[in-house]
Amino acid sequence: MRSEEKEPRLAASAGVSPTDHASPLTPHTSRSSNHRTLHVRVWRGTETGHYDDFDVPRLESQTVLDVVTHIQRKLDPTLSYRYACRVGMCGSCAMTVNGKARWTCRTHVSVVAEGDRLEIGPLHNLPVVKDLVTDMAPFFDKWAAAKGRFKGTATRHDGFARVPPQSPQRKLVDESIECIGCGVCYSSCDVVTWRPDYLGPAALTRAWTLVNDVRDVGQRERLAAVAGDAGCHACHTHTSCTERCPKGLSPTAGIAGLKRAVLAAALKGEL
Amino acid sequence: MTQIRGAEGVPSSLIPHPSALAVRTQVLLWGAQRASAAVLGLCVLVHLVTIIYAVRGGLTATEILARTSGSFAWAAFYAVFVAAVAVHAPIGLRNILAETFGWRGRALDVFVLLVGIVLAVWGWRAVYAVVGA
Amino acid sequence: MRSWARDAVRNDFRARNHPAYWAFVVHRASGVALTLFLPLHFWALAQSLQGEARLESFLRWTDQPLVKLSEIGLVLLLAAHMAGGLRLLAIEFLPWRNRQKTLLAAAAAATFAFGLALLLNLT
């Protein structure tokens, strides 16, 4: 196991400025990095294609997104990629970096580069639109298929629902509510590769937060939607999703909860 | 990149296989595999300890049959053991064949059901052989 | 500049190289091996239907070093599948406490303990 496995995960709490995280992630960059060159292989094409090689100057506190941006602005303007916020909030810049799915905006080159080498490709398990851009439609279609939308009964004339923050169900919601839908877990999941109809860790995590939402009234349909061979019971607990989640969430834990809840419903004949 | 969509806007990749088992059956199969796993956890523990005990001084037919012959307790234990295996293994095999070879639908379900029946019958025959000897 | 054309959308060993994935590989491979072995095991025990001598002659055939080695391997696979399976049951049915690594270590330890006990008792 290399040192990159020890990379600290981004804190899930809001309000932490990016620079707070930048310092522990950038060891020994000031001495020599300005003289060094990064050799970057970048995926070009769609489902089939090839890697193009680029040489990019190495800089202090450089992120993988900085590298991709440098290539597009200075070396090859035809390169396509996607990003928006640059600070780990929007979830649009996820790519495969040296074989692992990551947010490129919050990944420092010094943490992932193998020597001076980087390999950057599109996310796995999704159709490739062009180069580093994937079509996220199948990913979000599965959120809809997992009944990932809140269904309540209150109107504007009702008061606020009172949900005690310390109640067990509210605490379970807390554990997965921070998901921003970046697709890193979905891309890392082998079951998605093997069963293209599998809903995947993100959609199931969303369903799990709603299963624990005491205000929601669509539970029966939701449990039926996430049941069986294309749902939570296909999960083999590889924990690749939990291993790679940039927010440090555990989709595996939520999926295990769904497995139990759905089995209980099936035994009671409520499915 | 446009996907072919069904009547309700559901992408074709999310429409279940035409001869897929009912969802409730799929869930109960999963439950059966976990329940049989719990039973097997105990059975295998006993089996491993027995193996380690039995191999001391070498394995002989006389020794094995002396232990099992006419024993109701061993007969009951191995009968349950075989039953749990006959439930557990085919369901695992069903996942593997679907995921590795893309085999889905009725034919797969019938095949693993047959595997389960063969395992049960052969297993109980073996139990009868060592207990009835 | 250009390298060969290839398929972009596949996870490789770099994505899979973490302990829980290796546990899955061991669990799946041992499960397949044990399922294939079972009919053979049942057939061997059923030899006693034709008398104790028949079973005894089969057991003497298994004294060959290569067969003995495979038997040790199978016992290890059985122990590994059991320990790994108990780990999965714990993850799926007990409250989640971010202790997967501990469970993995326990499963591996149990497998080696059974293997060692077997080797010490073999003569």
Instruction: Assess C12–A contact: CB distance below 8 Å, yes or no.
Output: yes
Q: Do A197 and B28 touch (CB under 8 A)?
A: no
The end-to-end CA distance of chain C, in Å, is 62
Residue B8: inside a domain: no
Residue B50 predicted with pLDDT over 50: yes
Is B34 within 8 Å of B25 (Cβ atoms)? no
Whether chain C has a CB inside 8 Å of the CB on B35: the answer is: no
pLDDT at A161: 92
In a domain, B49, yes or no: yes
- Flag whether B41 is in a domain: yes
pLDDT digit string, tens, across residues A164-197: 999 999 999 998 999 999 999 999 999 999 999 9
**Would you state the pLDDT for residue C98?**
67
Domain segments of chain C: what residues? 16-121
Q: Which residues of A touch B10 (CB under 8 A)?
A: 141, 145
* Global confidence as pTM: 0.87
Is position B11 within any domain? no
d(CA A35, CA B91): 58
| C-alpha to C-alpha distance for B51 and A13, rounded to whole angstroms | 53
More confident residue, C109 or A185: A185
Residues of C in contact with A48 (CB under 8 A): 5-8
Decide the pairing of beta strands A94-97 and A128-130: unpaired
Q: Name the neighbours of B, counting chains with at least 3 Cβ pairs within 8 A.
A: A, C
| Percentage, residues of chain A above pLDDT 70 | 87
Predicted pLDDT at A35? 62
d(CA A147, CA A221): 8
Q: Identify which of A141, A135, A127, A126 has the alpha carbon closest to the alpha carbon of residue A206.
A: A141
Cβ separation of B126 and C55 shorter than 8 Å? no
Percent of chain A clearing pLDDT 90 (strictly above)? 85
CA distance A251 to A249: 6
**Better pLDDT: A56 or C117:** A56
Please judge whether A145 and B16 are an interchain contact, meaning their C-beta atoms are less than 8 angstroms apart.
no
Interface contact flag, B53 C34, Cβ < 8 Å: no
Ordered structural domains, chain A, with CATH: 33-134 (3.10.20.30), 137-267 (1.10.1060.10)
**CA–CA separation, A185 and A124 (whole Å):** 10
Q: Kindly report, residue by residue over A11-47, the tens digit of the pLDDT.
A: 343 333 344 344 444 444 444 445 689 999 999 999 8
Q: Which pLDDT score is estimated for A6?
A: 43
Mean pLDDT of the region A79-105: 97
Cα Rg of chain A (Å, integer) = 21
Describe the crossing of helices A137-145 and A201-211 by its angle, rounded to 10 degrees.
Answer: 30
Q: Which two tokens stand for residue B83?
A: 């039953």
pLDDT grade, residue B13 (50/70/90)? low
C2 has pLDDT over 50 = no
Select C16-121's CATH number: 3.30.1280.10, 1.20.1300.10, 3.30.2320.50, 1.10.10.10: 1.20.1300.10
Q: Any idea what the CATH number is for the domain that residue B123 is in?
A: 1.20.1300.10
Can you give the residue range of the structural domain that contains B123?
21-132
- Residue A131 burial (10 A CB sphere; 0-12, 13-18, 19+): buried
- Check residue C107 and give its pLDDT: 86
Question: Helix B61-68 vs helix C52-61: angle between axes, to the nearest 10 degrees?
Answer: 130
Give the confidence band of C119 by pLDDT, cuts at 50, 70, 90.
Answer: confident
Q: Are C86 and B40 in contact (CB under 8 A)?
A: no
> Helix/strand/coil (H, E, C) string of chain C?
CCCCCEECCCCCHHHHCCHHHHHHHHHHHHHHHHHHHHHHHHHHHHHHHHCHHHHHHHHHHCCCHHHHHHHHHHHHHHHHHHHHHHHHHHHHHCCCCCCHHHHHHHHHHHHHHHHHHHHHHCC
DSSP B12: G
* Domains held by chain B: number: 1
Q: Which residues in chain C have their CB less than 8 angstroms from residue B123's CB?
A: 38, 42
| CA atoms in the 13 A half-sphere facing the CB of B11 | 19
Would you say residue B16 lies in a domain? no
Please name the amino acid found at residue A153: T
Report DSSP letters for chain A, one per residue: --GGGGPPPPPSSSS--HHHHHGGG-TT-TTTGGG-EEEEEEEEESSEEEEEEEEEE--TT-BHHHHHHHIIIII-TT-----S-SSSSS---EEEETTEEEESTT-BHHHH-BTTEEEEEPPTTS-EEETTEE--HHHHHHHHHTT-S------TTS------TTSHHHHHHHHHTT----SHHHHH-HHHHH-TT---HHHHHHHHHHHT-TT---HHHHHHHT-STTTGGG-----HHHHH-TT---HHHHHHHHHHHHHHHHHTT--
**What is the interface pTM, i.e. ipTM, of the complex?**
0.88
Confidence of residue B16 (pLDDT cuts 50, 70, 90): confident
Q: What's chain B's average pLDDT?
A: 90
